[in-house]
Amino acid sequence: MEKSKILFDDFIREDRFELNSYLTYLFNQLNDYFPKHVEDNMVNE
């Protein structure tokens, strides 16, 4: 798995921090980290 570094600067727009974009990025990272079959097993139990 390739690790990519994202800086907080990538989520700063003018003088504000884009929390929504950052949280979306984090959730996407989690979804990529956990395989689909793990999710299916958790739902079936």
Q: 3-state DSSP call for residue 16?
A: strand
Q: Does the pLDDT at position 16 exceed 50?
A: yes
Question: Among residues 35, 6, 3, which one has the least CA distance to residue 22?
Answer: 6
Query: Is 80 exceeded by the pLDDT of residue 21?
Result: yes
pTM, whole model, 2 decimals?
Answer: 0.51
pLDDT in tens, 26-40: 898 888 888 766 666
Q: What does the domain layout of the chain look like in residue ranges? A: 20-45
Q: Which residue has the higher pLDDT, 9 or 39?
A: 9
Q: How far, in Å, are 2, 6, 19, 29 from residue 23 at the CA level? A: 20, 12, 6, 10
What CA–CA distance (Å, rounded) separates 13 from 24?
Answer: 16
Alpha-carbon distance 17 to 24, whole Å? 13
% of the chain exceeding 70 in pLDDT: 67
Which is more confident, 2 or 41? Answer: 41
Residue 18 has what pLDDT?
84
